């Protein structure tokens, strides 16, 4: 009985993720294999709670993300990488500010510094760049 409930919850989470993907302006790159919907749901819960294990779980779910990000910009600090992790999970600036207990302006400033370190142009989509990473 308990196994069935977990599958049911997992199925509902998968539908939510599928609905979110349909709202994106461009599809995910075909070469990317996404973690399970259950893992993504857990990551979202950790992020919303401001849990200290969020980043560790993110690294487990996206093992190459940090390595690729640091290969593009080796001067990124941990807080900037965490911000990229939140952004990679499609959290907006205001949500990130709420969950990290920082001001919206502080998040905007960090995003600006990250864009400079990554040498992204003004018209480049930061979220799409992170997804393709």
Q: Give the model's pLDDT for residue 103.
A: 93
C-alpha torsion 101→132→26→56, nearest 10: -30
Report the C-alpha gap between 109 and 34 in whole angstroms.
29
3-state secondary structure of 125: coil
3-state secondary structure of 30: coil
Question: Hey, what long-range contacts does 60-63 have (CB within 8 A, 24 or more apart)?
Answer: 61/35, 62/35, 62/88
Q: Give the model's pLDDT for residue 72.
A: 87
Q: What are the extents of the domains in the chain?
A: 2-132
Q: Give the model's pLDDT for residue 12.
A: 47
Q: Give the model's pLDDT for residue 34.
A: 58
Q: Give the model's pLDDT for residue 105.
A: 95
Instruction: Report pTM.
Output: 0.68
Q: Give the model's pLDDT for residue 90.
A: 87
> Which residues are within 8 A (CB) of 98 and not within 5 positions of it... i.e. 6 or more apart?
none
Q: At what angle do helices 93-100 and 78-88 cross, to 10 degrees?
A: 130
Tell me the average confidence (pLDDT) per consecutive run of 10 residues in the chain, 133 residues long: 43 47 48 64 84 85 86 88 90 90 92 90 82 79
């Amino acid at each position: 009985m308990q196994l069935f409930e977990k599958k049911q919850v997992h199925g509902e989470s998968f539908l939510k993720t599928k609905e979110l993907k349909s709202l994106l302006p461009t599809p995910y790159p075909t070469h990317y294999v996404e973690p399970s919907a259950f893992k993504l749901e857990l990551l979202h819960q950790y992020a919303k709670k401001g849990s200290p294990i969020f980043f560790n779980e993110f690294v487990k779910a996206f093992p190459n993300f940090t390595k690729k990000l640091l290969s593009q910009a080796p001067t990124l600090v941990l807080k900037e990488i965490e911000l990229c992790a939140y952004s990679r999970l499609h959290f907006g600036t205001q949500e990130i500010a709420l969950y990290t207990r920082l001001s919206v302006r502080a998040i905007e400033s960090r995003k600006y510094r990250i864009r400079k370190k990554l040498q992204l142009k003004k018209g480049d989509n930061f979220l799409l760049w992170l997804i393709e990473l």
